[in-house]
Amino acid sequence: MPELPEVETVRRQLAGSLPAKRFAEVERVEPAMLLECRDEDVRRDLPGRTVHSVERVGKFLIVRLDGEVYLTLHLGMTGRLLLAPEDGPGPHTRFVFKL
């Protein structure tokens, strides 16, 4: 499980590259990984939103979007976030957000 220093490192990396980026498309959503919302909601509500900041509360990463919308992420036991070019998702990819 990523510990707090690793989560803060991820936050800093995302905070350096995500602000002012706009979600263009949600390509893949693993419904079993969602809490408090449905995959249809994510696909409908995220595209067009702009990232304002990336924050951390404990081991949760909070991506603050326009319109007072938040994307809350937890890396779980072995999770990681990748900012990658369009070379296709790996076999264990749970979400793909195009910016």
Amino acid at 86: E
Indicate whether 86 belongs to any domain.
Answer: no
Structure tokens at 64: 């603050």
At 14-26, the pLDDT tens digits run 999 999 999 999 9
Q: Is residue 85 part of a domain?
A: no
Q: Which domain holds residue 10?
A: 4-77+94-98
Distance from the Cα of residue 66 to its chain's centroid: 15
Token pair, residue 2, equals 């990523």
pTM of the predicted structure, to 2 decimals:
0.88
The number of folded domains in the chain is 1
Please determine, for residue 8, whether its predicted confidence score (pLDDT) is greater than 80. Answer: yes
Give the pLDDT band of residue 61 (cuts 50, 70, 90).
very high
Report if residue 35 sits inside a domain.
Answer: yes
Residue 84 falls inside a structural domain: no
36 is a domain residue? yes
In a domain, 88, yes or no: no
Nearest to 49 by CA among 73, 72, 74, 19: 19
Instruction: Work out the average pLDDT over 66-90.
Output: 85
The model's pLDDT over 40-53, given as tens digits with 9 standing for 90+, comes to 999 999 999 999 99
Which ranges of the chain would DSSP assign to H, the alpha helix?
A: 4-17, 39-45
State how far the Cα of 44 lies from the Cα of 48, in Å rounded to an integer. 9
What is the CATH number for 8?
3.20.190.10
